Chains A and B, each alone.
Chain A
Amino acid sequence: EVQLVQSGAEVKKPGESLKISCKTSGYSFSTYWIGWVRQMPGKGLEWMGIIYPGDSDTRYSPSFEGQVIMSADKSINTAYLQWSSLKTSDTAMYYCARLGLATIWSSWFDPWGQGTLVIVSS
Chain B
Amino acid sequence: DIVMTQSPDSLTVSLGERATINCTSSQSLLYSYNNKNYLAWYQQTPGQPPRLLIFWASTRESGVPDRFSGSGSGTHFTLTISSLQAEDVAVYYCQQYSSAPFTFGPGTKVDI
Contact = CB atoms under 8 A, between A and B. Distances in A.
Q: Do A and B come from one complex?
A: yes
B90 interface: no
Contact of B50 (A61, A95, A105, A106): A95
A47 B98 contact: no
A44 interface: yes
A54 interface: no
A105 B101 CA distance: 11
B22 to A, nearest CB: 16
Nearest to A49: B101
Contacts of A44: 91, 93, 104-107
B100 interface: yes
Contact of B40 (A61, A108, A111, A114): A108
B77 interface: no
B50 A45 contact: yes
Given A106-B97, A108-B40, A47 B50 contact: no
B104 A45 contact: yes
Interface residues of A, number: 25
Contacts of B98: 106
A115 interface: yes
Nearest to A113: B49
B101 A45 contact: no
A61 B101 contact: yes
Contacts of A105: 100
B52 A45 contact: no
A31 interface: no
Nearest to B1: A62
Interface of A: 35, 37, 44-47, 49, 59, 61-63, 95, 97, 100, 105-115
Interface of B: 1, 38, 40, 42, 44, 49-52, 55, 61, 91, 93, 95, 97-98, 100-107
